[in-house]
Amino acid sequence: MSDKKRVPSKGSRQPAIELNPYLLLIGRVLLAIIFMVSGFKQIGNFKVMVYNLEQHHIPLAGLAMMLAILMEIGGGLFLMLGYRTKQAALVLVVFLLLANAVFNLDFSDALRQMQFFKDLAILGGLLFVTQTGGGRFSLEEWFHQET
What confidence score (pLDDT) does residue 143 get?
86
User: Angle 46-55/21-44 helices, nearest 10 degrees?
Assistant: 90
What confidence score (pLDDT) does residue 5 get?
57
Cα gap 26→63, rounded to integer Å: 32
| pTM across the whole model | 0.82
118, pLDDT greater than 50: yes
Q: Picking from 13-17, 83-87, 91-95, 138-142, which range would have the lowest pLDDT averaged per residue?
A: 13-17
What number is the average pLDDT over the span 80-106?
94
What confidence score (pLDDT) does residue 1 get?
46
Compare 44 and 1 and report the one with higher pLDDT: 44
147, pLDDT greater than 80: no
Continuous segment of H or E residues that includes residue 5 = strand 5-7
Mean pLDDT, the chain, integer: 89
How many residues are there in the chain? 147
Continuous segment of H or E residues that includes residue 57 = none
What confidence score (pLDDT) does residue 105 get?
86
Domain borders along the chain are 20-135
Range from 7-21, 25-39, 105-119 that averages highest in pLDDT: 25-39
44, pLDDT greater than 60: yes
Cα gap 145→70, rounded to integer Å: 24
Question: What single letter denotes the amino acid at residue 31?
Answer: L
What confidence score (pLDDT) does residue 131 get?
92
Asked whether 65 and 53 are in contact (CB, 8 A), the reply is yes
What confidence score (pLDDT) does residue 10 get?
58
Compare 65 and 135 and report the one with higher pLDDT: 65
* CA 46 vs CA 6, 62, 65, 102, 144: distances in Å: 44, 8, 8, 18, 38
Cα gap 20→32, rounded to integer Å: 18
